Amino acid sequence: MKKSLIALAVFGMFTGAALADGNSVTLYGKIDAGLVHLTGLNNGAGGAVSSTGLESGITGGDRIGVKGTEDLGGGLKVLFDAETGFCGTGYNQNLSVGATGKQSFCTGSGYFMGRQAYVGLTGDFGTVLAGRLYDAIFGAEATLDPFGAGYTGQSANLDVTVGQLGLIRSNQALAYVTPNLSGFTGTAAYVFAAGAGTIPGATPGTSNVPRAVDLKGEYANGPIYAVLDYAQVQNAIANPTTLVNDGKIKTWLAGASYDFGVAKVVAEYQTAKKDYWDGKTDFWLVGATVPVGAGSIMMSYGNAKSTLTDAASPLAAGTAKQYAIGYTYSLSKQTSLYTSYAHLTNESASASLSGTSFGVGTATDGIGAGTGVTGNASSGFALGIVHNF
C-alpha cells in the first residue's frame, strides 16, 4: 500500500479526489534501537562514570511525521511538514548524560511536533518556508559528517556549530532557498526567536530575545560537494559594561567532499568568536565513507581547540580530539544494521565555548552529547538496527 494511502487511512483528512487533483500526503518515520556502552563521562561531581543501556535514536532521533504538497497551478505548490519525535525504547533511556537524562531530545524540543513544523511555497523562484526549521548550517554539517550527525562517532561530540552552539533547529524561522542553478543552491534564513525565550541578563531589564541569521551557499554536482556557511546568533552575550545581552556569536563553516567511487573523502573547518571575548574556538575534521558490499565503513578524525578568554572568565587554551569508526549494513532499502565506536580525549583545559569538557554521546543525548571530565578520555560503542518508513 502506498504511503499516501496509509496517511489517508490514519488521519482521514483528505479525499481520493483531492489527491487526483495533484495533492499528496505522506506518512513517514524512523525507529532506531541499539545497545550503547559509554565510558569516561562526568557524573556531575567531576568524576568519571560509565553506562550501558538499550537506547533509541542513536543514528538520529526516532520520529513520525506527515508531509505533503498542494498543486496551485502554474508551477506553484504549497508544501508542509509536521514531525514529532518519540523514544522508541521508553523514557528511561539516554543513560550517557547521567541521572538527569535529556528526554526532550526524544521529541526534538520537548514538545509535540517539536522536531520540525512548517508551511511554504515553492516554484520557479525557489522555495520559501516558515515555521520551526532545521538550521541551514546543520544541514551542511550533517552532509559533511561521515556519520551523518549520528551514531557514537558524530562530529557533534565536539564540533562548533552543532555540539557547542546547538545550531540544529530554530523556532520562528523564515527561510528562502534558491532554485538549483547548475548545482549551486543558496539559502538565507532569519530567526525571530532562536531559543526557548530570553537569555537572562545580570539585572532586570537587561534580557533580550536571541535572534539569528544563517547564510549558506553549496555546490553539488556529480562526485563534488562544497559548502560555505555563515551564521550568527544575536543577543547571546552580555556586554561587560552595560550588562545587556547584546553581543553576538559568529561562526563560519567551510567544507568539501569528493566521491572517488571506492571511497568518499571529506574535510571541513569551523570557527566561532564571541563578542566581548578574546580568542576563538576552532574545529576541523577529515573523514571517509568506504562502500563494502551491501554496507559501508565510516571513519573520521576531529580536533577542537579554544583560545577564548575574557576578564571575568579566563579560560586557558585547550584541545580535544576524537577518532571514530563505524559500519552500516543494508538489509533492505529501509532497514539497516549498524555499529560504531568513538574515542575522545580532553586536555587539562577546556576547548569548548561554554568552558565544559567534551564527552562521547549519540544523536539523542542532546546538545554537545555527553559531558566529559577535564583531562580525561571518554569512549562510546553502539550496536543496533534502524528502520525508515
> Can you give the chain as a three-state secondary structure string?
CCHHHHHHHHHCCCCHHHHHCCCEEEEEEEEEEEEEEEEEEECCCCCEEEEEEEEECCCCCCEEEEEEEEEEECCEEEEEEEEEECCCCCCCCCHHHCCCCCCHHHHCCCCCCCCEEEEEEEECCEEEEEEEEECHHHHHHHHHCCCCCCCCCCHHHCCHHHHHCCCCEEEEEEEEECCCECCEEEEEEEEEECCCCCECCCCCCCCECCEEEEEEEEEEECCEEEEEEEEEEEEEEECCCCCCEEEEEEEEEEEEEEECCCCEEEEEEEEEEECCCECCEEEEEEEEEEEECCEEEEEEEEEEEECCECCCCCCCCEEEEEEEEEEEEECCCCEEEEEEEEEEEECCCCCCCCCCCEECCCCCCCCCEEEECCCCEEEEEEEEEEEEC
- Classify each residue of 89-118 as buried b or exposed e, where b means 16 or more C-beta atoms within 10 Å of its C-beta: beeebbbbbbeebbbebbbbbeeebbbbbb
Asked whether residue 6 is assigned to any structural domain, the reply reads: no
d(C-alpha 24, C-alpha 79), whole Å:
10
Residues near 129 by beta carbon (within 8 Å), at least 6 away in sequence: 118, 119, 120, 173, 174, 175, 176, 177
Asked whether residue 75 is assigned to any structural domain, the reply reads: yes
d(C-alpha 219, C-alpha 226), whole Å:
5
d(C-alpha 273, C-alpha 252), whole Å:
9
Tell me how far CA of residue 140 lies from CA of 85, 145, 226, 270, 355, in angstroms. Answer: 22, 9, 9, 11, 25
- What pLDDT is attached to residue 277? 85
Asked whether residue 22 is assigned to any structural domain, the reply reads: no
Residues near 25 by beta carbon (within 8 Å), at least 6 away in sequence: 4, 7, 8, 11, 13, 14, 19, 66, 67, 68
- What pLDDT is attached to residue 41? 82
Below-70 pLDDT ranges, the chain: 1-22, 45-46, 91-105, 107-110, 195-207, 310-317, 348-356, 366-370
> C-alpha angle with apex 289: 284 to 135, nearest 5 degrees?
55
- The domain that holds 235 is classified in CATH as 2.40.160.10
- What pLDDT is attached to residue 2? 43
Asked whether residue 12 is assigned to any structural domain, the reply reads: no
Asked whether residue 148 is assigned to any structural domain, the reply reads: yes
Structural domains of the chain, count = 1
Of 61, 65, 40, which is closest to residue 51 (Cα–Cα)? 40
167-214 residue pLDDT tens: 899 989 999 999 999 999 999 999 998 765 445 555 555 567 888 999
d(C-alpha 214, C-alpha 191), whole Å:
8
* Contact criterion met (CB below 8 Å) for 139 and 149: no
- What pLDDT is attached to residue 96? 47
Cα(first)–Cα(last) distance of the chain, in Å? 12
d(C-alpha 38, C-alpha 371), whole Å:
11
Domain of 58 in residue numbering reads as: 37-388
Greatest alpha-carbon pair distance for the chain in Å reads 67
* Contact criterion met (CB below 8 Å) for 53 and 385: no
